[in-house]
Chains A and B, each alone.
Chain A
Amino acid sequence: MATKVDVLLELRAPAADAFAMHEAAVESEREAFRQSEQLVADLAGFGIEVSNEYAPVPMFTTQEGTFSVDLEAFAIPEQNADVPSQSIVIAAEVDRAAIPDLQGRGVIVWPNSPLVLFSSCSCAAEGVATDDEHLFDLAPSAGGIDCRPFRPAVSRATIRALLGVDRVWRDGFRGQNVVVGIIDEGVNDTVYPVIGGFSRPNSPRPGSAPITSHGSMCAADVLVAAPAAKLYDYPFLGHPNSGGALTMFQAVLDHRRIDGTPHLTNNSYGFVGRPPKNEMPNHEVWDPNHPVHRKVREVVASGAPAFFAAGNCGEDCPSSKCHVSGIGPGNSIHASNSLQEVITVAAVNSRHQRIGYSSQGPGGFFNQKPDIAAYSHFFGNFGPGRPAGGDATSFDNGTSAATPVAVGVGALLMSAFPDLTPPRMKAAMIQSAINIGQPGFDHETGFGVMNAAVAYNLIRNGAV
């Protein structure tokens, strides 16, 4: 049985009044069919079935690309009532086997390929702006809250566009010469650029964590803004606890003493509840002089900004891990995550909606927390085609993901301004933040959503 295929047949059939002929075919399906049939009348036996859906289209260029008429002059209708065509293209179905013979008769056979309408994809839902929109247009300044079921995750390209990293990249800064210390459960170095970290006998070497590790997610998310940054892996010693954090921060100081690296640290962990103060007054949540807090202050004082996740115990849709004592405004940002010296990061989606689990200030130690918001819910380490895999329901999430996005912007700025101090970096991020929700500072998203392009310009122009 012959296989029919959809094709476009280009026939050498000059028509003196090509535009008029086409206009008539457009107005009448019968005329379109008649013209098409007439054009293939000499090609009987090739199994051509012309389509009456499409009017024959006159062509004014040769295959070599030269114009058969002066098209610029034709744009002035009174001077060019009509012009002859070079050839005419019709849509048809033909027997696949007949195509070589048709070509032998001087007919040019083009595939008539199906097209995908871009507007019918789910791009809008995924936060992709159209040609007429900027991504910010999809992110109303009124803010809002994203709770379960969450809005679909977006691509890294969307996050990069929202952050405005192109402005900084264009000047040649992509995070090169900057090392980020990731204090977490470990990073996978087969995918991510781990160049050192904490190591000791009988402990896993830096970079040996599985690709699905929480630390690997953080690594992926640092590289969103700063793809040329390098990483130090500071894995907690087994279970993440205060003693492990103290050891890791000391390792950071040890490294900085040697060569000034790492330049920044990422800290996507904390507590999900608060013990009773009368029972444990010297717990990290209550005592600002806990050794871990003092060590964090030492790291920041050494010139390395410390970014901490706000936490996932916001009142609107807290993580199931949260204890009731640690949920909601005033209860959910505490311990080192609430120190004045650190940069505390809340989470928003690509529509500038606060993600409902993002913890809310005031902070336990410093009232004005969180400091800023950064993006979460995107395909970084997890998701289709990403290193850790998964389907569209798997994506980088939590304030854990937002924090390394902010760190990546910090790395980008340090790449451009190596002498940037932690207070100046924080000031630049705060001043450049895109305010959402209430005007000015609020305890939901701090001073707003961070923006690399604006922060870069502020520092570059000496405004910070």
Chain B
Amino acid sequence: MRWLVTVKRGVDLGALAALVESAGGSSAAADPIPLGDDEIVVEIEATKEAAQRLARDASVISVHPSSDYTLY
């Protein structure tokens, strides 16, 4: 399952990728997306449990599901 991980801008992306891997997930290839003035969003692939573990890390602001749309 895909997730959107929001962290503070300036966070070391290499360290974040390692954190994601240690939680049992993997980072997606997409570039981080800036959000507001001081946050970025990174897309990852992980199980729900792994996403919950990641959300508990102090460097992570939030973890939201990246869900599939239907074209209307």
Interface size counted on chain B using CB atoms at 8 A: 23
Q: Which residue of A lies closest to B2 (CB)?
A: A243
| Alpha-carbon separation in the docked complex, A239 to B62 (Å) | 23
Residues of A within 8 A of B69 (CB): 236, 240-242, 245, 269-271
Task: Give the docked Cα–Cα distance between A421 and B56 (Å).
Answer: 40
A284 part of interface (Cβ distance < 8 Å):
yes
Q: A291 with B4: in contact, given A241-B68, A270-B72 (CB under 8 Å)?
A: yes
Tell me if A321 is interfacial: C-beta within 8 Å of chain B: yes
Partner of B68, one of A240, A247, A403: A240
Shortest Cβ gap from A54 to chain B (Å):
57
Which residues between 288 and 329 of chain A lie within 8 Å of chain B, taking CB atoms? 289-292, 294-295, 298, 309, 311-312, 321
User: In the complex, how many residues of chain A place their beta carbon closer than 8 angstroms to a beta carbon of chain B?
Assistant: 39
- Residue A185 is within 8 A (CB to CB) of chain B in the complex: yes
Asked if A282 and B67 make an inter-chain contact with CB atoms under 8 angstroms apart, the answer reads: no
Q: State in angstroms the CA–CA spacing of A128 and B64 once bound together.
A: 49
How would residues 48 to 68 of chain A score, 1 for a CB under 8 Å from any chain B CB and 0 otherwise? 000000000000000000000
Q: Within A390-434, which residues are at the interface with B (CB < 8 Å)?
A: 398-400, 403
B60: interface (CB < 8 Å): no
Main secondary structure of the interface of B (DSSP, over half): strand
The yes or no answer to A87 lying at the interface (CB within 8 A) is: no
Q: Are B62 and A282 in contact (CB-based, < 8 A)?
A: yes
| B30 lies within 8 A of A247 (CB) | yes
B22 interface hit (Cβ, 8 Å): no
How far, in Å, is A339 (CB) from chain B's closest CB? 15
Residues of B within 8 A of A291 (CB): 4, 6, 33, 35, 41, 62, 64
Whether the Cβ atoms of A269 and B72 lie closer than 8 Å is yes
Chain A nearest Cβ from B19, distance in angstroms:
18
Which residue, of A241, A269, A298, has the highest number of chain B Cβ atoms within 10 A? Answer: A241
Q: A242 touching B71 by the CB < 8 A rule?
A: no
Q: How far is the CB of B50 from chain A (nearest CB, A)?
A: 15
Q: What residues on B are CB-neighbors of A287 within 8 Å?
A: 64
Which residues of A approach B to under 8 Å, CB–CB? 184-185, 214, 236-237, 239-243, 245-247, 250, 268-272, 280, 282-284, 287, 289-292, 294-295, 298, 309, 311-312, 321, 398-400, 403
- In the complex, the 4 A-B pairs of residues with the closest C-beta atoms, listed nearest first: A242-B66, A400-B72, A240-B69, A243-B43
Could you name 7 residue pairs across A and B whose Cβ atoms are closer than 8 Å?
A214-B71, A240-B68, A241-B66, A247-B33, A269-B70, A282-B62, A291-B33
